[in-house]
Chains A and B, each alone.
Chain A
Amino acid sequence: MPARTVYTASIESVSILDEHGRFDAQLGADLIPNDDLVKLYEQMAISRRFDEIAFKLQRSGRMGTYPENRGQEATSLGAAYVLNKDDWLVTCYRENTGLFWRGLPMEYILLHWMGDERGNKIPDGLCITPLAIPIGTQMLHAAGLAWAAKYREEKRIACTFFGDGATSEGDFHEAMNFAANLDLPIVFFCQNNGWAISVPTNKQCSAPTLAQRGIAYGMDCIQCDGNDIFAVVRVMKEASQRARETNRPTFIEALTYRLGDHTTADDARRYRDEAELQMWMQRDPIIRLGNYLKELKLWDRSKEDALQERAKAEVADAVKRAEEIADTPIEEYFDAMYADIPEELRRQRDTLRTSSLGQEGFAQGVETPTKQGIEETVN
């Protein structure tokens, strides 16, 4: 008997407002109200300004290594726009725009990259997790957050962000498998920006799309133009509704591009073509939406000027707040370790010494302890 085909699949790719300004009136109908469109545009522009200033802060030694977000504003923003306030947004490190939209004060992101752990202390009331640096680890937490929501019978979902490179990590596959098989209300949002540092996406995935990775796990999956805010919002709406109503996960692959280097420690000219960069410059999500707004007469030069002024001022304020905050006392790092600090650790905290002799001496205010002194401390 000839082999039968037991399964075939195809992947849809959604684009609504393309790089040439063409708008798909059917797919885009009633998707985003005009007022919101303007707000989304403004958020992207402010975030872009933030990115430029963050880059300069790093270059002038006022901040550590920083991963530019430039070019990828529409992805996390579109997702954040669709999510409810109590849904979880679980990101890696290139999702500033979405985090700002959800209300994370801009200085938190600055603090993180300025080497201040307080940047990770998410303000109460915001359902987001601290930036995740180890690639791929956060997707499992998102699955757990979704699981907790289901367990508690809350109508909340989780949406997790990660890159193309991250889809090679075991954690990614395990998170997808758990989500699909345990029926978890989660959206896996992959920002395929073409590169994982110097490694192109086709070295992470030999299939024509990343999206089809979802098929293997039995979950819905879809591709979209990640630089098109309409497309992102549309696929996110479908995915979040599916999660909320049926506890079924979705895998979204958004095609985008980082216009900057991987981080300020990288030099992308070593591995990628200038022509590729130039092509993606033409697909800039902010320019695209701006042109569309102008067409609709929702935007003009004077509004743009006012927005740029506002962006400058807001970012400058954030920088000021981040730079003016007093340094973290080192003791805080000890206090945050456990609910109750163990005795030995308290000693390290109080003396700022690990040398056993130094510790004892400092604890007693004696610089050079004698044997007797040590015995007294021990007893």
Chain B
Amino acid sequence: MPQMNMAESLNLALDECMNADERVCIMGEDIAVNGGVFRITKGLLEKYGEDRVIDTPLAENAIIGTAVGMAITGLKPVAEIQFSGFTMQAFDQIEQNMARYRNRSRGRYPVPMVLRTPYGGGIRAVEHHSESREAYWAHTPGLKVVIPSGPRNARSLLNAAINDPDPVIFYEPKAVYRAYREDVPDEPEAIEIGKAQVVRTGSDITLIAYGAMMRPTLEATEDLVDLHNVDVEVIDLLSISPMDTQTLVDSVSKTGRCVIVHEGPRNCGIAAEIIARLNEKAFEHLEAPVNRVTGYDIHFPHFQVEQHYLPDPDTIIQAVKQTLAYE
């Protein structure tokens, strides 16, 4: 099995999908000649030509709007928005068309497209380049929202997103792009959108995270297990919407305690939705209020202080200890 970082495994997934299906084309700013500002689409122009690997003019709303038009003919466009901060320029088309076309045409015009975009902080990027606003899209009926956490699941999740019959927002944790390498199988692995993954089983407390926050969560877990003797169960959400409620409920019903971690702001964030579901379905098993460690309800700060903004292993450990101490 080759070792890959996430940038390479995403590139591999795009390559595999384009190779397998002529309906897959990719479009966006600087994705063809330049191979993308993060080099995720590197080499694809040379391989598939400029009809399928398209440098667009600089207009996000137009990228998504035209991708919708292509998609309703049955093509499978994969549109890149250079940074998730600039998906806001495409809010109109995402909310009003990409998400709705299937329903408002009563199934006549489904939208089998993917919007790929790097999100999140931690790489000392300039203003508007570090946001984590997956909650907007999870709040939009009609969209699926998925976020991989490592090279291996990134590859399979992107494959699943491209082959999904519905529009998928695919958030890429850019802090992870080149952070580490892991084994990525030769053959694509099947992964189901809408399923979370229990990455460590434990009995004392459930930690739920996704995307870039899996790393500090796993680091915290290591400390909790090794130094604090806490048997942590860790869940990688992978699919923000639809959400795998059952896996979360099963886990928390077993452990009775739970901490959720995400870097987006707290107010109406993904953790709030998880807490509501646990409240509905695991209430009688809860031994402590479900806790959350999230970004603050402020704009993502300029990078000089971004480390104070982002949840880190220490804040996660703190939250776990407090949740465990609750009686």
Q: Which residues of A are in contact with B by a Cβ distance under 8 Å? A: 64-65, 112-117, 133-136, 165-166, 168-171, 196-199, 203-204, 265-266, 270-271, 327-328, 330, 333-334, 337, 344-345, 348-349, 352-358, 361, 367-371, 374
Stretch at the interface among B153-161, B207-215, B301-309: B301-309
User: Is B89 close to A, CB under 8 A?
Assistant: yes
* Residues 288-301 of chain B, each 1 if its beta carbon lies under 8 Å from chain A, else 0: 11011111111101
Count of residues in B whose CB is under 8 Å from the partner chain: 54
* Complex CA–CA separation, A353 to B292 (angstroms): 10
Considering the complex, give the chain B residue whose CB is closest to the CB of A344.
B297
Q: Which residues of B are in contact with A by a Cβ distance under 8 Å? A: 29-30, 33-35, 37, 55, 57-59, 61-62, 85-86, 88-89, 124-129, 259, 266-267, 288-289, 291-299, 301-306, 308-309, 311, 315, 318-319, 321-323, 325-327
Determine how close the nearest CB of chain B comes to the CB of A306; give it in whole angstroms.
35
Beyond A115-B304, A199-B57, 5 extra complex contacts between A and B, CB < 8 Å:
A134-B89, A333-B305, A353-B318, A369-B322, A371-B327
Considering the complex, give the chain A residue whose CB is closest to the CB of B38.
A265
Q: Which residues of B are found within 8 Å of A170, using beta-carbon distances? A: 59, 61-62, 89
Considering the complex, give the chain B residue whose CB is closest to the CB of A206.
B57
Contacts A114-B304, A133-B128, A354-B293; A165 near B58 (Cβ below 8 A)? yes
Considering the complex, give the chain B residue whose CB is closest to the CB of A361.
B322
- Taking a contact as CB atoms under 8 Å apart, the answer to whether A330 and B126 are in contact is no
- Taking a contact as CB atoms under 8 Å apart, the answer to whether A357 and B291 are in contact is yes
Determine how close the nearest CB of chain B comes to the CB of A183; give it in whole angstroms.
27
- Taking a contact as CB atoms under 8 Å apart, the answer to whether B298 and A345 are in contact is yes
Contacts A169-B59, A333-B301; A358 near B326 (Cβ below 8 A)? no
* Complex CA–CA separation, A333 to B323 (angstroms): 28
* Complex CA–CA separation, A348 to B266 (angstroms): 10
Q: Which residues of A are found within 8 Å of B125, using beta-carbon distances? A: 64-65
- Taking a contact as CB atoms under 8 Å apart, the answer to whether A169 and B58 are in contact is yes
20 A–B contacts, CB within 8 A, in A order: A64-B126, A65-B124, A65-B125, A65-B126, A114-B304, A115-B306, A117-B302, A170-B62, A198-B55, A199-B57, A204-B58, A270-B33, A333-B299, A334-B298, A348-B266, A354-B295, A355-B319, A357-B289, A370-B326, A371-B326
* Complex CA–CA separation, A136 to B128 (angstroms): 14
* Nearest 5 A/B pairs, CB to CB: A115-B303, A198-B34, A368-B325, A168-B57, A115-B304
Considering the complex, give the chain A residue whose CB is closest to the CB of B295.
A354
* Complex CA–CA separation, A371 to B326 (angstroms): 6
Picked from B85, B129, B259, B304, the residue with its CB within 8 Å of the CB of A327 is B304
Contacts A65-B125, A204-B57; A271 near B33 (Cβ below 8 A)? yes
Determine how close the nearest CB of chain B comes to the CB of A372; give it in whole angstroms.
10
- Taking a contact as CB atoms under 8 Å apart, the answer to whether B315 and A353 are in contact is yes
Q: Which residues of A are found within 8 Å of B301, using beta-carbon distances? A: 117, 330, 333
* Complex CA–CA separation, A270 to B41 (angstroms): 14
- Taking a contact as CB atoms under 8 Å apart, the answer to whether A64 and B57 are in contact is no
